[in-house]
Structure 1
Amino acid sequence: MHSNDDDLVPADAVARMRTLLESVPALREKVADLALDDSLRAHGLDSLGLIQLLDAIEEHLGCELSDDDLADDNFATLRSLTRTFGGRATRT
Protein backbone atom coordinates (compact mmCIF):
# COMPACT_ATOMS: atom_id res chain seq x y z
CA MET A 1 0.00 0.00 0.00
CA HIS A 2 1.32 3.43 -0.92
CA SER A 3 1.55 6.01 1.82
CA ASN A 4 2.82 8.82 -0.38
CA ASP A 5 0.05 11.36 -1.14
CA ASP A 6 1.71 11.91 -4.51
CA ASP A 7 0.59 8.40 -5.51
CA LEU A 8 -3.07 9.15 -4.86
CA VAL A 9 -5.42 10.29 -7.59
CA PRO A 10 -9.11 11.12 -7.07
CA ALA A 11 -11.46 8.31 -8.08
CA ASP A 12 -13.78 10.69 -9.95
CA ALA A 13 -10.86 11.99 -12.03
CA VAL A 14 -9.78 8.42 -12.82
CA ALA A 15 -13.35 7.63 -13.92
CA ARG A 16 -13.34 10.67 -16.27
CA MET A 17 -10.03 9.56 -17.79
CA ARG A 18 -11.33 6.01 -18.26
CA THR A 19 -14.29 7.46 -20.17
CA LEU A 20 -11.92 9.44 -22.40
CA LEU A 21 -9.77 6.36 -22.99
CA GLU A 22 -12.88 4.56 -24.25
CA SER A 23 -12.85 6.96 -27.22
CA VAL A 24 -9.75 5.11 -28.47
CA PRO A 25 -10.96 2.00 -30.33
CA ALA A 26 -7.75 0.06 -29.58
CA LEU A 27 -8.29 0.56 -25.82
CA ARG A 28 -12.08 0.42 -25.58
CA GLU A 29 -12.26 -3.23 -24.52
CA LYS A 30 -9.35 -2.90 -22.08
CA VAL A 31 -10.18 0.29 -20.20
CA ALA A 32 -12.14 -1.33 -17.38
CA ASP A 33 -9.22 -3.65 -16.57
CA LEU A 34 -6.46 -1.02 -16.69
CA ALA A 35 -4.61 -0.55 -13.42
CA LEU A 36 -3.38 2.94 -12.61
CA ASP A 37 0.22 2.12 -13.47
CA ASP A 38 -0.32 -0.11 -16.50
CA SER A 39 1.41 1.10 -19.66
CA LEU A 40 -1.14 2.52 -22.07
CA ARG A 41 1.18 1.72 -24.99
CA ALA A 42 1.49 -1.91 -23.89
CA HIS A 43 -2.33 -2.09 -23.91
CA GLY A 44 -2.62 -0.74 -27.46
CA LEU A 45 -2.24 3.04 -27.40
CA ASP A 46 -0.42 3.76 -30.67
CA SER A 47 0.11 7.02 -32.56
CA LEU A 48 -3.40 6.98 -34.08
CA GLY A 49 -4.90 6.20 -30.69
CA LEU A 50 -2.94 9.05 -29.16
CA ILE A 51 -4.40 11.48 -31.69
CA GLN A 52 -7.89 10.15 -30.91
CA LEU A 53 -7.23 10.56 -27.19
CA LEU A 54 -5.88 14.09 -27.64
CA ASP A 55 -9.02 15.04 -29.56
CA ALA A 56 -11.21 13.58 -26.81
CA ILE A 57 -9.28 15.45 -24.09
CA GLU A 58 -9.45 18.75 -25.97
CA GLU A 59 -13.18 18.28 -26.54
CA HIS A 60 -13.70 17.38 -22.88
CA LEU A 61 -11.71 20.37 -21.63
CA GLY A 62 -12.93 22.76 -24.32
CA CYS A 63 -9.44 24.00 -25.18
CA GLU A 64 -6.30 23.16 -27.10
CA LEU A 65 -3.54 21.42 -25.20
CA SER A 66 -0.20 23.14 -24.66
CA ASP A 67 3.17 21.79 -25.76
CA ASP A 68 3.89 20.85 -22.13
CA ASP A 69 0.67 18.83 -22.05
CA LEU A 70 1.86 16.78 -25.02
CA ALA A 71 4.87 15.28 -23.22
CA ASP A 72 5.04 11.50 -23.66
CA ASP A 73 5.19 10.95 -19.90
CA ASN A 74 1.70 12.45 -19.53
CA PHE A 75 0.27 9.59 -21.61
CA ALA A 76 2.29 6.72 -20.14
CA THR A 77 -0.27 5.38 -17.66
CA LEU A 78 -3.79 6.01 -16.41
CA ARG A 79 -2.20 7.60 -13.32
CA SER A 80 -0.07 10.05 -15.33
CA LEU A 81 -3.02 10.88 -17.59
CA THR A 82 -5.20 11.55 -14.55
CA ARG A 83 -2.55 13.68 -12.83
CA THR A 84 -2.11 15.78 -15.96
CA PHE A 85 -5.72 16.24 -17.05
CA GLY A 86 -8.07 14.82 -14.42
CA GLY A 87 -8.25 17.87 -12.20
CA ARG A 88 -8.86 20.43 -14.92
CA ALA A 89 -12.18 22.13 -15.33
CA THR A 90 -14.32 20.75 -18.12
CA ARG A 91 -16.28 22.54 -20.78
CA THR A 92 -19.69 23.63 -19.56
Structure 2
Amino acid sequence: MEIENGIRKILNSELFVEVPPEQIGLDDSLRAGYGLDSLGFVELRVQCEDMFDVRISDEDFTPENFQSVRTVTDLVNRLRAEAQQ
Protein backbone atom coordinates (compact mmCIF):
# COMPACT_ATOMS: atom_id res chain seq x y z
CA MET A 1 0.00 0.00 0.00
CA GLU A 2 2.86 2.38 0.82
CA ILE A 3 4.40 1.86 -2.63
CA GLU A 4 1.06 2.23 -4.42
CA ASN A 5 0.37 5.51 -2.62
CA GLY A 6 3.89 6.75 -3.37
CA ILE A 7 3.45 6.04 -7.07
CA ARG A 8 0.07 7.81 -7.05
CA LYS A 9 1.68 10.86 -5.41
CA ILE A 10 4.47 10.88 -8.03
CA LEU A 11 1.88 10.77 -10.81
CA ASN A 12 -0.08 13.63 -9.29
CA SER A 13 2.68 15.96 -8.06
CA GLU A 14 5.63 15.25 -10.38
CA LEU A 15 3.94 14.14 -13.60
CA PHE A 16 0.95 16.50 -13.33
CA VAL A 17 -1.76 13.86 -13.67
CA GLU A 18 -4.81 15.95 -12.86
CA VAL A 19 -6.56 13.24 -10.88
CA PRO A 20 -6.44 13.17 -7.07
CA PRO A 21 -4.04 10.40 -5.94
CA GLU A 22 -6.79 8.51 -4.12
CA GLN A 23 -8.81 8.29 -7.36
CA ILE A 24 -6.02 6.78 -9.47
CA GLY A 25 -6.97 3.14 -9.99
CA LEU A 26 -4.46 0.33 -9.49
CA ASP A 27 -5.12 -1.10 -12.94
CA ASP A 28 -5.78 2.10 -14.90
CA SER A 29 -3.54 2.43 -17.96
CA LEU A 30 -0.87 5.05 -17.31
CA ARG A 31 -0.62 5.78 -21.04
CA ALA A 32 -4.26 5.63 -22.16
CA GLY A 33 -5.87 6.67 -18.88
CA TYR A 34 -3.49 9.39 -17.73
CA GLY A 35 -1.66 10.40 -20.89
CA LEU A 36 1.88 9.51 -19.89
CA ASP A 37 4.25 9.74 -22.83
CA SER A 38 7.80 8.44 -23.18
CA LEU A 39 9.24 11.35 -21.19
CA GLY A 40 6.62 10.80 -18.49
CA PHE A 41 7.65 7.16 -18.17
CA VAL A 42 11.33 8.11 -17.91
CA GLU A 43 10.45 10.60 -15.16
CA LEU A 44 8.34 7.98 -13.37
CA ARG A 45 11.31 5.58 -13.51
CA VAL A 46 13.67 8.17 -11.99
CA GLN A 47 11.18 9.22 -9.31
CA CYS A 48 10.53 5.57 -8.33
CA GLU A 49 14.27 4.90 -8.10
CA ASP A 50 14.69 7.91 -5.80
CA MET A 51 11.59 7.35 -3.66
CA PHE A 52 11.91 3.59 -3.21
CA ASP A 53 15.72 3.28 -3.31
CA VAL A 54 15.78 0.80 -6.19
CA ARG A 55 17.63 0.63 -9.50
CA ILE A 56 15.39 -0.01 -12.52
CA SER A 57 17.52 -1.54 -15.27
CA ASP A 58 16.87 -1.02 -18.95
CA GLU A 59 15.71 -4.67 -19.08
CA ASP A 60 13.05 -3.89 -16.44
CA PHE A 61 12.05 -0.57 -18.03
CA THR A 62 9.40 -2.14 -20.26
CA PRO A 63 5.82 -1.24 -21.19
CA GLU A 64 4.66 -4.35 -19.31
CA ASN A 65 6.24 -3.16 -16.06
CA PHE A 66 4.92 0.40 -16.49
CA GLN A 67 1.32 -0.30 -17.54
CA SER A 68 -0.38 0.65 -14.30
CA VAL A 69 0.19 1.52 -10.65
CA ARG A 70 -0.10 -2.21 -9.89
CA THR A 71 2.59 -3.28 -12.38
CA VAL A 72 5.02 -0.58 -11.20
CA THR A 73 4.33 -1.62 -7.57
CA ASP A 74 5.04 -5.26 -8.46
CA LEU A 75 8.30 -4.22 -10.11
CA VAL A 76 9.42 -2.16 -7.11
CA ASN A 77 8.54 -5.01 -4.73
CA ARG A 78 10.51 -7.50 -6.85
CA LEU A 79 13.54 -5.21 -7.06
CA ARG A 80 13.50 -4.61 -3.31
CA ALA A 81 13.30 -8.36 -2.66
CA GLU A 82 16.20 -9.05 -5.04
CA ALA A 83 18.30 -6.35 -3.37
CA GLN A 84 17.86 -8.03 0.02
CA GLN A 85 19.17 -11.40 -1.15
Q: TM-score, normalised by structure 2?
A: 0.72
How does 1:1-92 map onto structure 2 within 5 Å? Answer: 11-22=1-12, 23-25=14-16, 27=17, 29-30=18-19, 31-42=21-32, 43-86=34-77, 88=80
User: Structure 1 segments of 4 or more deviating over 3 A?
Assistant: 61-64
User: What CA deviation, in whole Å up to 9, does each residue of 1:47-85 have, x standing for no partner?
Assistant: 121121122112224454212320111110111111111
The TM-score with structure 1 as length reference comes to 0.68
CA RMSD in angstroms, aligned pairs only: 2.1
* Bigger Rg over Cα: 1
CA separation of 1:63/1:73 partners in 2, compared to 1, >3 Å: closer, same or farther? same
Gaps of 5+ in 1: 1-10
Q: Is the 8 A contact 2:30 2:66 kept in 1?
A: yes
Across the two proteins, how many residue pairs are aligned to each other? 77
Assess if the C-alpha contact under 8 Å between 1:14 and 1:86 holds in 2.
no
- Conserved in 2, the CA contact under 8 Å of 1:17 and 1:86? no
